[in-house]
Chain A
């Protein structure tokens, strides 16, 4: 199924830019940043080879995907995606893969004993690298997952999510054959975040590459990317770095770790009123985030769409970076 050069699972630090087809854009971009000294969450990537193997060893999945690719009938699509999802759910991981995941999981857990909030299990699909396809929000991310069986179940849930009816329609509308999608999965430590956000190192509204657009909210960024809150918005000029627009958001909800006995999980809680109407970033932190964005942009060679957070000790961490998919310039 795979040769010796292609590892089933790899720690993020060891992934190289040439591995993008194997470990996907998210893992490869994070590895690039790690190599250049940026702070990223520790973790590993389950290669897309495992995803392809699953499709090739379960003929029902392969056959159903072939029909799914051909059909334009929405009702049929719903039936087919449900069938594929059930088949993935009941798929038993090969022993060698299970053992590799266990090794990496326990190594990560032992090396990061202060990480008490479990792990984020997220997609790293190979199509996410295309300059015209973000795949934003199409695949599922599982937060605060812990315990080897839960990690394995979460990996399968991420695989399943690529075949949701919404994701399939997104792919079809972009003209991407379903068979072309290969899904690696990243397992990263959860970061204890006081503030999280998204930053575009170009203003995507007016295509201005001299401006930076930042969204920020309290707690984890899940509320922001899924649009459950109105976060703060900041627009900055790059040179010299200065704020040109600030809009305060309502930030009614925060995604935070649960407290109490047992496994930690992410919960939504009302933001205390005295924090709802206060900017999450003061100017010092905002400039620090913006400068970090500029460094990432320089390193990656193009304007970036970056997910970041600020740890409880005040240090910023890059959770994800990808090229901005929608910049347009006059020809």
Chain B
């Protein structure tokens, strides 16, 4: 699995901008290029392009939508949903963290940005943009 563990240091902290908070499905960090996906065609496109190491941002937690790429992703961010949603259950099976219920209002702004999903204790987690 291509999970990158983030190393905390002051230089890195300065490069990170907090973008959203949510509930994290697994106590794991993940870093990668984010892709905002809204259709099955975009999933297929991502599959062809290479989904390895990517973090996908989706509006809701219908798992069937993401199935083709789940085994290749590093993490998932979901605008809605929670830890009991099917997406959270299935991503755990693939041992990748899903940050659920983030309520992100402008998802397109995050597309193709390098991001970090970080657990923050309990079931809380946050999404950071790496500048």
Q: A residues engaging B (CB < 8 A)?
A: 74, 132-134, 136-138, 164-167, 169-170, 173-174, 197-200, 203-206, 213, 215, 224-231, 233, 235, 245, 247, 249-250, 305, 325-326
Residues from 17 to 51 in B contacting A, C-beta threshold 8 Å? 23-27, 44, 47
B101 is contacted by which of A173, A197, A230 (Cβ under 8 Å)? Answer: A230
Q: When each residue 60-91 of chain B gets 1 if its CB lies under 8 Å from chain A and 0 otherwise, what string results?
A: 11111111101100000010111111110110
Contact partners of A198 in chain B: CB under 8 A: 84-85
Q: How far is the CB of A30 from chain B (nearest CB, A)?
A: 18
A166 is contacted by which of B27, B60, B64 (Cβ under 8 Å)? Answer: B64
Count how many chain B residues have C-beta atoms less than 8 Å from C-beta atoms of the other chain: 38
In this complex, the member of A227, A229, A249, A250 whose beta carbon has the largest number of chain B beta carbons within 10 angstroms is A227
Contact partners of B92 in chain A: CB under 8 A: 204, 325-326
Q: How far is the CB of A78 from chain B (nearest CB, A)?
A: 9
Q: Can you name 29 A-B pairs with beta carbons within 8 Å?
A: A132-B93, A133-B93, A134-B90, A134-B93, A136-B90, A137-B63, A167-B67, A170-B67, A173-B71, A174-B93, A197-B84, A199-B84, A203-B123, A204-B83, A205-B26, A205-B122, A206-B27, A224-B85, A227-B62, A227-B86, A228-B80, A229-B80, A230-B81, A233-B123, A235-B123, A245-B122, A247-B123, A249-B101, A325-B92
**Is the Cβ of B89 less than 8 Å from the Cβ of A326?**
yes
The reply to whether the CB of B100 lies closer than 8 angstroms to some CB of chain A is yes
| Nearest CB in chain A to that of B61: its residue | A227
**Is the Cβ of B82 less than 8 Å from the Cβ of A200?**
no
Contact partners of B86 in chain A: CB under 8 A: 136-137, 225-227
Q: How far is the CB of B77 from chain A (nearest CB, A)?
A: 12
Q: How far is the CA of A213 from the CA of B25 in the complex (A)?
A: 11
Known pairs A138-B64, A245-B122; A230 contacts B103 (CB<8 A): yes
Q: How far is the CB of A203 from chain B (nearest CB, A)?
A: 8
| Nearest CB in chain B to that of A199: its residue | B84
B89 is contacted by which of A233, A247, A325 (Cβ under 8 Å)? Answer: A325
Q: How far is the CA of A126 from the CA of B80 in the complex (A)?
A: 30
Q: How far is the CB of A68 from chain B (nearest CB, A)?
A: 14
Known: A227-B81, A228-B60, A325-B89. 17 other contacts (CB 8 A): A136-B86, A137-B89, A164-B64, A167-B67, A204-B26, A204-B92, A205-B27, A213-B83, A215-B83, A225-B86, A227-B60, A228-B61, A230-B100, A233-B23, A233-B123, A325-B93, A326-B92
| Nearest CB in chain B to that of A204: its residue | B92
Q: How far is the CB of A133 from chain B (nearest CB, A)?
A: 7
Known pairs A74-B44, A137-B62; A166 contacts B82 (CB<8 A): no
